[in-house]
Amino acid sequence: MRQRKIPAWIQVDASVRGVRIYSNYGAGKEAGDEGRLTEVVLSADGQVRLSAGDLAGKGEAILATRGAGKSWLAAVQAEQLIEAGYPVLILDVVGEYWSLKAKYPIIVFGGRHADVPLDPHIGGEIAKVVLDRKLQAVIDLTGMRRADQPFFIADLATELYEHGLQVKTPCWLLIEEAQNFIPQVGNPPCKRPILDIVEMGRHAGLGVCLVSHRSATIDKTALGLCDILVFKRLTLPHDLQVVRDFFRGRDPKFIDVVKELPALGNDEAILYYPLRLETPVKFKVAERKTPHIAETPTLEIREVTAPEVSAVSKELTEYFQQLVREKVERRDEAAELRMRVEELQKELEERDRRIEQLEHDLELAQRFRIEIPPELLKVPGVNEKLEKLEERIMDLYAAQVEKAKRLEEENRALKRRLELAGKADFSALAEKLEALNREMQRSRGPLASLSESLSGVVEAASKVLNDLKGLSRSFVSAEEHMRRIEEIRREYEQRIEEMRNADAWRLNPHIIIRMSRIVNEIAQLTDTAKQVLKVASSMRPDVIFDESTIAHSVGRSPSTVRQYLRQLAKLGWLTQTRGGFRNRIEENVADRISKSAGPAGKVPCTVIEKCKREILTFIQSL
Ligand SMILES: Nc1ncnc2c1ncn2[C@@H]1O[C@H](COP(=O)(O)OP(=O)(O)OP(=O)(O)O)[C@@H](O)[C@H]1O
Ligand SMILES: [Mg+2]
């Protein structure tokens, strides 16, 4: 190793180096051991020493870069203060100070080696008990959330200062990673209480040791207030600048100390304590009495066996455990109450929402009276409106019925004329029917403009209309029918001609005329009537049927089919009875043919049967 030249300011003479001071404070005094030497030896050679009383009543800062031996030096001081019986409180953020238990009956709060589990809400209580009982305790913050730590430390520091002012018990507070709790920038809740201790802690006998690896980010006021500064290796330019500025402001003649800092070994330090030392003192740090846990990972970690906790500690442990239990219970209770309050709040909100909904519904109901259909009738004017609507519907309905009746009569009259004429002027008739149809179309207009509630009436009217349309179509095609009838007639004449010799009766002109009249009558039926007749012809004469039996085969509604059944019954093709209708097509043919024999006498059955078959064949061909 290169032998470095020690600057002049470090060459301290023996009278200055290692100030020996007898304590006026501390456990020695409490124990009645007046004058007991309570020194803290910092250096390995035992030359650099501080009084326990000084440490307890002053502010100290240990500044060095990471891994430069800050904690080691702080622990060296802690060990000796604990040994001297001084109340000590260590805020340990990395969980390394529990190893003090290897030699001393300290209490560890929190962390993996906790005697008492740490609760974020007992900072104040810990401070109070530490002062009242002159305890030595490590508060391992590793298990506490980062967000809770500033609040916890704020409680602890506040109580330490305020209670300390009352009880005047000396105590040494060590704060690791102090830049986190008293940063230069930012204002965490613990900053002010810590600064109070640094500034005025002396009045309460409180000393504080701030350990930081970032001189640049720790609060400069706090640094400025510290009486004792221990510099270890510092390398970062910003951190070195802070030290430079510090000396420039306090003691410019020692500004060269800064140059020494980057080259310091882990076991080396420079003590600046102007109240007791004329110059800064460089020294080799003393050995620790307990294992140093915060070894860097490259080094072998020594196992530490934690000793049995002393009887006092056991009692204290129980006290704090009880305290934490109570706090937790109270918090649980509070949390439960908060939850209940939230639930009630939600319930209230839900109730408010329902009330609002109900009010809204009520308003709607009042406005429109729509709660239930019967209520609608109670609304003034609705009954009258409904009655008027009904009247209008009835009028329209009656008008339609009247019109339908008239049309039916006209239709019948036309048919009669047709029958009588034997040969009708179909085109003129068709024209007339078209005119009637148009009139019906016009009359449909007002019906269509009515709402759906009137659809029943419209349907009834349109049925009549459809019938008329069908009738009209049949008239339009009547000429064609007549042509077919003519053809059939010619066919009959042909046949008659053929049969003349064989069957004199069948050649009877009366029968021929009758047959052609029957065929003519059937041909003049509407399409639907023809279909109804066709279906009826397949029924046995003794079977009673009604519209519902054949409506499906015809493809029309039962009510429509019923009309045609009645029409066919009137024409003699069906018999209408109470229970329905019967097929009398053959009967009808027989009646009409048998009456046509004329002077020739009674028509033979064979001829009647022949006529029946011919008519049935004709009907089936429809
Ligand atoms: N005086 C010493 N003698 C021997 N070894 C030391 C001394 N001081 C520190 N060390 C060693 O240096 C390493 C770092 O020490 P320490 O944990 O005290 O550093 P630190 O500055 O507190 O680090 P950090 O910033 O990470 O907290 C450790 O392994 C320790 O054993
Ligand atoms: Mg450390």
Q: Give me the amino acid identity at 129.
A: V
Confidence of residue 573 (pLDDT cuts 50, 70, 90): very high
Q: Is the pLDDT of residue 188 over 50?
A: yes
Closest approach atom of ligand 1 to CA 96 = 17
Same domain, 409 and 511: no
User: Which of 103-117, 380-394, 421-435, 603-617 is the least confident region?
Assistant: 421-435
- Counting from 1 in the atom list of ligand 1, the atom nearest the Cα of 213 is 25
Which SS3 state, helix, strand or coil, does residue 210 take? strand
Averaged pLDDT for residues 240-251: 91
The verdict on the CB of residue 296 being under 6 Å from ligand 1 is yes
Give the closest ligand to the alpha carbon of residue 68. 1
Check whether 71 has a pLDDT greater than 90: yes
Mean pLDDT of all residues in 556-575: 92
Give the ligand 1 atom nearest the CA of 94.
27
SS3 89: strand
Phi-psi region of 171 (alpha: psi -120 to 50; beta: other; left: phi over 0): beta
Tell me the percentage of the chain whose pLDDT exceeds 90: 38
Cα 264 to ligand 1 centre (Å): 12
If you take atom 4 of ligand 1, which residue's CA is the nearest one?
267
Query: What per-residue confidence (pLDDT) applies to 398?
Result: 63
pLDDT the model gives residue 189: 95
547 is in which domain, residue-wise? 480-622
Of all ligands present, the nearest one to the C-alpha of 75 is 1
Residues 398 and 264 in one domain: no
Asked whether residue 79 carries a pLDDT value surpassing 70, the answer given is yes
CA pair distance 330, 84, nearest whole angstrom: 38
Residue 422 or 323, more confident: 323
Question: What is the pLDDT averaged over residues 245-252?
Answer: 90
How many degrees, rounded to 5, is the angle at CA 469 between CA 468 and CA 473? 115
> For residue 17, what pLDDT is reported?
33
Place of tokens 């102090």: 178
> Among 73-77, 122-126, 300-304, 562-566, which stretch is predicted with the lowest mean pLDDT?
300-304
CA of 202 to the centre of ligand 2 (A): 26
pLDDT recorded at residue 148 = 94
The pLDDT assigned to 353 comes to 74
- What does DSSP say about strands 574-576 and 281-284: parallel, antiparallel, or unpaired? unpaired
Asked whether residue 239 is assigned to any structural domain, the reply reads yes
Looking at 337, 359, 379, the residue that finishes a domain is 379
pLDDT at 383 over 80: no
Q: Are 202 and 249 in the same domain? A: yes
> Are 250 and 313 part of one and the same domain?
no
pLDDT at 468: 52
CATH number of residue 602's parent domain: 1.10.10
pLDDT of residue 15: 39
Lowest mean per-residue pLDDT among 31-45, 394-408, 441-455, 475-489: 441-455
Where is the domain boundary, 455, 476, 497?
476
| Residue 441 within a domain | yes
Domain-embedded: residue 400: yes
pLDDT, position 88: 94
- Reported as a single tens digit per residue, the pLDDT across 105-114 is 889 999 988 8
The answer to the question of residue 297 being in a domain is no
pLDDT of residue 165: 94
Q: Does residue 302 form part of some domain?
A: no
* Closest CA to ligand 1's atom 9: 69
**Ligand 1 centroid to 589 CA: how many Å?**
134
Ligand nearest to the Cα of 62, by number: 1
| 123 within a domain of the structure (yes/no) | yes
Which domain CATH number covers 169?
Answer: 3.40.50.300
Query: Are 500 and 549 in the same domain?
Result: yes
Same-domain check for residues 105 and 128: yes
Ligand 2: centre distance to CA 265 (Å): 15
Instruction: List pLDDT tens digits, range 205-236.
Output: 999 999 999 988 999 999 999 999 999 999 99
> Would you say 45 and 39 are in contact if contact means Cβ atoms under 8 Å apart?
no
Q: Domain ends where: 336, 353, 379? A: 379
- The verdict on 406 and 521 lying in the same domain is no
The neighbouring-strand residues paired with 138 are 90, 108
Which of 35-49, 50-64, 72-86, 525-539 is predicted with the least confidence, judged by mean pLDDT? 35-49
Q: Look at residue 186 and tell me if it is in a domain.
A: yes
Least confident of 14-23, 199-208, 283-292, 338-347: 14-23
Cβ atoms of 239 and 245 closer than 8 Å: no
> Is residue 460 located within the same domain as residue 518?
no
Measured distance CA(486)–CA(545) in Å, rounded: 34
Distance from C-alpha of 228 to C-alpha of 212, rounded to nearest angstrom: 14
Give the confidence band of 597 by pLDDT, cuts at 50, 70, 90.
low
Place 440 in a pLDDT band, splitting at 50, 70 and 90: low
What's the CA-to-centroid distance between 143 and ligand 1, angstroms?
A: 23
One domain, residues 459 and 506: no
N-terminal to C-terminal alpha carbon distance within the chain: 133
Query: How far is residue 70's CA from residue 231's CA, in Å, rounded to a whole number?
Result: 9
Residue 385's pLDDT is 63
- Are 401 and 325 found together in one domain? no
Q: In terms of residues, how long is the chain?
A: 622
CA within 13 Å, CB half, 17: 16
pLDDT-derived band at 496 (thresholds 50, 70, 90) equals low
68 lines ligand 1 (CB under 6 A): yes
Of 339, 342, 334, give the one whose Cα is nearest residue 121: 334
Q: How confident is the model at residue 474 (pLDDT cuts 50, 70, 90)?
A: low
Residue 501 Cβ < 6 Å to ligand 1: no
Q: Give the model's confidence band at 179: pLDDT under 50 very low, under 70 low, under 90 confident, else very high.
A: very high
Is the CB of residue 419 less than 8 Å from the CB of residue 483? no
How confident is the model over 483-509, as a mean pLDDT?
Answer: 62
Ligand 2 centroid to residue 168 C-alpha, Å: 30
Pairing of strands 59-63, 88-92: unpaired
Which residue's CA is the closest to the ligand 1 atom numbered 8? 69
User: Is the distance from the beta carbon of residue 44 to the nearest atom of ligand 1 less than 6 Å?
Assistant: no
Question: Which residue among 210, 266, 268, 300 is best mutated to probe the pocket of ligand 1, counting the most ligand atoms within 8 A of its Cβ?
Answer: 266
Ligand 1 atom 14: residue of nearest CA = 67
pLDDT surpassing 60 at residue 555: yes
Most confident of 29-43, 115-129, 416-430, 458-472: 115-129
- The predicted-structure confidence for 129-149, as pLDDT tens digits, reads as follows 999 988 999 999 999 999 999
On average, the pLDDT of the chain sits at 77
Residue 391, classified by CB atoms within 10 Å of its CB into exposed (0-12), middle (13-18) or buried (19+), is exposed
Residue 280 amino acid letter: P
pLDDT surpassing 90 at residue 193: yes
Q: Are residues 330 and 458 in the same domain?
A: no
For the ranges 29-38, 145-154, 300-309, the one whose mean pLDDT is highest: 145-154
Residue 286 belongs to a domain: yes
- pLDDT above 70: percentage of residues in the chain: 65
Start-end of H helices in 369-454: 373-378, 382-421, 426-449
Ligand 1 atom with the smallest distance to the CA of 64 is 21
Q: Which residue has the higher pLDDT, 200 or 459?
A: 200
- Number of domains making up the chain: 4
User: Quick one: 412 and 471 in the same domain?
Assistant: yes
* pLDDT score of 414: 61
